[in-house]
Chains A and B, each alone.
Chain A
Amino acid sequence: MSKNDVFVWIEQFKGQPAPASWEAVGAARRLADELGGSVSACIFGGPGVEALAQEAISCGADAVLLVEDATLADFRVEPQVALLARAVREADPAAILIGATFRGRELGPALAVELDTGCIADCTALALEGERLVATRPIYAGKLLSKCIIPERHPQIVTTRARAFPKPEPDPARTGEVVGVEPVLAEDAIACKVTDFLATEGGVSLADAAIIVSGGRGVGGPEGFKPVRELAQVLGAALGASRAAVDADWIPYEHQVGQTGKTVSPDLYIACGISGAIQHQAGMRTSKVIVAINKDPEAPIFKLAHYGVVGNLFKVVPALTAAFKEKLG
């Protein structure tokens, strides 16, 4: 352990790791190599999370700090902050990387207060200037980019936006030490109690999805999402929506992409009946390949998209579903 080490908080749900955590491990690996330090993965979960330790090592961690305890089975910020703070005080790492998910966005700033240091939110690129991290993050819905540093405090906490950093290619031959540690807080010292969990329709997280198929005003109503959903199913894609569709109550808010919804960055984004208001573009403009299907050839989405089909989505989308079915079997 040295001052050049990088910690990564590994997020999981019922033992399933969040892809953003492995992306953060990959980013941490590159930083640690440059700093001459090692990468420690912090896996604090319920019984059984030990199964993630080797995956963390395969993805680039040198060591795993592991706590398996029933108090950590559901995510709660209090015990996670307590554990991370203790680990940081003992090991004094240079930086802590956390995926910028719902959980990570709650954890990062709470940890920063606990450790009296800075937390750079939602960064999309990381570099080093000497021993100092330089993080790039979009602000004003991506209209501007801000370079951020934490010049005088220690450690440097950064949350990394999902899919902004490549997922490392796992190397199962990598080895590392797994260090079991004790929980900090007992159940009666944790104020929040998780009483239930309500799963989302479809079960594919928008932020992590490699493919997203979205519907907008053009779908015309809740039933109009049927062909959009079918295309998403064939592609194993997450289902997205524009603000217009959400505001009209055609689909729940959890599906909304855009400035007032989720920011996504999939490999493929298929916009069906979405005109492409600037607020929608703010949430999906960094997608690798954007396809627009819209009956209006003047729709602003065609300025952003890489491929466009001008036509009635109720004809084009089912045809596309059929064509994919044929090709993908």
Chain B
Amino acid sequence: MHIVVCTKYTPDSEAKMSVDASGDVSWGTSPLIINPWDEYAVEEALKLRDQHGGTVTVLSMGPEEALEALKHAIAMGCDEAVRVWDNGCAGSDTLATSYVLAQAIQKMGDVDLTLFGKSAIDTQTWQVAPAVAQRLGIPALTYVIKIAAIDPDGKSITVERLLEEGRQVVTAPLPAVVGTTKGINEPRYTSFMGIRKAAKMDYPLWALADVEAEADKAGESGSGVRWPEVSMPPAREGEAEIVQGETVKESARLLVEKLLAEKVI
């Protein structure tokens, strides 16, 4: 089975974000890491490979910083890594990104399953997995919390995917795109051997021409969405009003009165 995991790099989740006068976004000195959600996708890919055999390729579209994400995935145990980038990729929204990733997956040719994290913690669009599936014309199974069964020979997969009301059980043919979510597994740590392998590995770089991508479908010209302005949200001022009665019962009664006065119940 050939499994592809798509990933991107993001600033650490604890990064202090800021925007300067010219509108440029900065994450200060915070390290760049693999998008934390993608670790669930990597873990699931490794588990499936270990059960069913095959290869796991980790794929990222991004500038050199994307190597951080690829290295982490290799250090966790992925077999191969591919980075797609040239200047024509800059400014891509999810429409353009999904095009470039789908072209790269098609170039690989024999991909049975493409895994994603549920969303990237930076831009949080939740979009690239379903968009790639639509590009490839294959099923999109997103917010998957359990792969209940997979049959690489019979080319089918059954998953439990989250909906607001509960879990929908869906069977689909392979190849398919699966968006994972937290709860599907417990991602492993990188191993010493893995880190050594990641440090020594060769990371092939594919340009748009290498994945037979049309230049005007990538980057800004291939994008639907632009984001002309980024700003800091207004901060919430002040501290909680501490509700303190003589007894716990009295505190509770006072709090209930305040909440009823707020008209939120």
Q: Does A33 contact B (CB under 8 A)?
A: no
Cα separation A323 to B256 with both chains bound (whole Å): 7
Question: B136-175 vs A: 1/0 string, CB under 8 Å?
Answer: 0011111101000000000000101111111111111100
Which residues of chain B (212-252) have a CB below 8 Å from chain A? 223-233, 236, 239-244, 248-249, 251-252
Contact A197 B170 (CB under 8 A): no
Q: Would you give the 0/1 interface string for A74-91, flagging 1 where the beta carbon is closer than 8 Å to chain B? A: 111110010000000000
Docked complex Cα distance between A102 and B179 (Å): 11
State whether the Cβ of A292 lies closer than 8 Å to any Cβ in chain B: yes
Which B-chain residue is minimally distant from A114 (CB atoms)? Answer: B134
Binary interface encoding of chain A residues 176-215 relative to chain B, with 1 for a CB under 8 A from any of its CBs, else 0: 0000000000000001111111111001010110110000
B265:A146 contact, CB within 8 angstroms: no
How far in angstroms is the closest Cβ of chain A from B37?
8
Within 8 A of B (CB), among A239-270: 246, 252-254, 256, 259-261, 267-268
Does the CB pair A109–B98 fall under 8 Å?
Answer: yes
**With the chains together, A323 CA to B182 CA distance in Å?**
36
Q: Which residues in A have their C-beta under 8 angstroms from that of B232?
A: 143-145
Are B265 and A328 neighbours in the complex by a CB distance under 8 Å?
Answer: yes
Give every chain B residue within 8 A of A78 (Cβ-Cβ): 139
Residue of A106, A108, A145 ringed by the most chain B CB atoms within 10 A = A106
Q: Point out the residue from B173, B230, B242, B264 that lies within 8 Å of A139, measured CB to CB.
A: B230
B190 at the interface (CB under 8 A from A): no
Size of chain A's interface in residues, with CB distance under 8 A? 99
Asked if A197 meets B256 with Cβ closer than 8 Å, knowing A13-B163, A77-B140, A303-B239, the reply is no
In this complex, what residue of B is CB-closest to A135?
Answer: B225
The A interface is mostly helix, strand or loop, or mixed, namely mixed
Q: Which residue of A lies closest to B133 (CB)?
A: A110
**A1 contacts B by Cβ under 8 Å:** no
- In contact, A113 and B134 (Cβ under 8 angstroms): yes
How distant is the Cα of A319 from the Cα of B252 in the complex, in angstroms?
Answer: 6
B95 in contact (CB, < 8 A)? yes
Is B122 within 8 A of A145, CB to CB? Answer: no
Contact indicator B242/A101 (Cβ below 8 Å): no
Tell me the bound Cα distance from A320 to B11 in angstroms.
40
Among B128, B162, B231, which residue has its beta carbon within 8 angstroms of that of A109? B128
| B residues whose Cβ falls under 8 Å from a Cβ of A | 11, 13-17, 19, 25, 36-37, 93-95, 98, 121-128, 130-131, 133-135, 138-143, 145, 158, 160-173, 181-183, 223-233, 236, 239-244, 248-249, 251-253, 255-256, 258-260, 262, 264-265
Q: List 14 A-B contacts (CB under 8 A).
A: A77-B130, A106-B142, A107-B130, A114-B134, A116-B224, A147-B227, A192-B171, A199-B166, A210-B264, A285-B236, A289-B259, A297-B242, A307-B259, A309-B242
